[in-house]
Amino acid sequence: MPPLFAQAAGGQLYYVGLYKGSPAASAILVRKDSSIKTLEDLKGKKVAFKRGSSAHNVTVKVLRKAGLKPEDVEQLDLSPPDAAAAFKNGSIDAWSIWDPYLAIAEADPETRILTTAEGIVDSYSFFLANRDFTDANGQVVVDVIDELGKVGTSAQSNLDETVKELSEITGVPVDVTRVALTRKGADLGSVSTITDAAAAYQQALADEFYGLGILPKKLVTGDIVWRPKAS
């Protein structure tokens, strides 16, 4: 979602690479004792997520799966720290969130996962680059994406050390970091330049959010998808 809003605002960026993550790294959370048992039970409830984030996308698609529209719930635009506090004190009914916040929250025995994004949302994270820099330094961008893939593959093959190092860098506890890095389908090495599937996914997402009145204008995401020139 963020690059869609950036494009709509006239940001001078390109999609240059992607990381295909685990859909299980995003979820809708409720309290253990919540009366919300099914997706349909979200109707009329207070649902928090950060507007314009991946959690916004997950929320829209989860509601659609339940036959609901965004306006069928009370939407609260909250940053992860604010949503975490609101979730803890019971002032919201459900929280749409991603790792590592998800892994931190689900460690609380009073938290229940209503649904993950598995089977609902594809999990793409994009590498973005300045247009002028990329136009002038295409090979550098290719080399960076390639190196990121190599580093990711190395990190994936030595998860014990990766978990330890990331925990020290981020301050997120080791056990929580391990949960986030071992989700079903997670692969730190799944880095590449933009695929046709990812480009199509972004266009469909842009169309959907424009249709919902969330994006201010219609976008052609392919206009800013960068493809490396054949050598």
Write the pLDDT tens digit of every residue in 37-47: 999 999 999 99
| pLDDT of amino acid 23 | 94
Residue at which a domain ends, from 90, 116, 142: 116
What is the average per-residue pLDDT within 126-151? 96
Instruction: Judge whether residue 63 has pLDDT over 70.
Output: yes
Query: Do 105 and 41 fall into the same domain?
Result: yes
Structural domain contains residue 218: no
Q: Which CATH number characterizes residue 99's domain?
A: 3.40.190.10
11: left (phi over 0), alpha (psi -120 to 50) or beta: beta
Query: Do 110 and 31 fall into the same domain?
Result: yes
Structural domain contains residue 215: no
Query: Do 63 and 130 fall into the same domain?
Result: no
Sheet of strand 13-20: strand arrangement:
124-130, 13-20, 191-192
| pLDDT of amino acid 229 | 82
What is the average per-residue pLDDT within 11-40? 96
Instruction: Judge whether residue 222 has pLDDT over 90.
Output: yes
Query: Do 85 and 156 fall into the same domain?
Result: no
Structural domain contains residue 229: no
- Taking 3-state DSSP, the helix, strand and coil percentages for the chain, each rounded to the nearest 5, stand at 50, 20, 35
For the chain, the average pLDDT equals 95
Expressed as residue numbers, the domain containing 63 is 23-116
Q: pLDDT by residue (tens digit) across 193-203?
A: 999 999 999 99
| pLDDT of amino acid 9 | 94
Contact, 90 vs 35, CB < 8 A?
no
| pLDDT of amino acid 178 | 96
**pTM score, two decimals?**
0.90
| pLDDT of amino acid 143 | 96
Query: Do 179 and 143 fall into the same domain?
Result: yes
Q: pLDDT by residue (tens digit) across 140-185?
A: 999 999 999 999 999 999 999 999 999 999 999 999 999 999 999 8
| pLDDT of amino acid 231 | 56
Share of the chain above pLDDT 70, in %: 99
Instruction: Judge whether residue 230 has pLDDT over 80.
Output: no
Structural domain contains residue 222: no
Structural domain contains residue 203: yes
Residue at which a domain ends, from 66, 89, 116: 116
Q: Domain count of the chain? A: 2
The separation between the first and the last C-alpha atoms of the chain, rounded to the nearest angstrom, is 32
- Return the top range by mean pLDDT from 38-47, 206-215, 221-230: 38-47
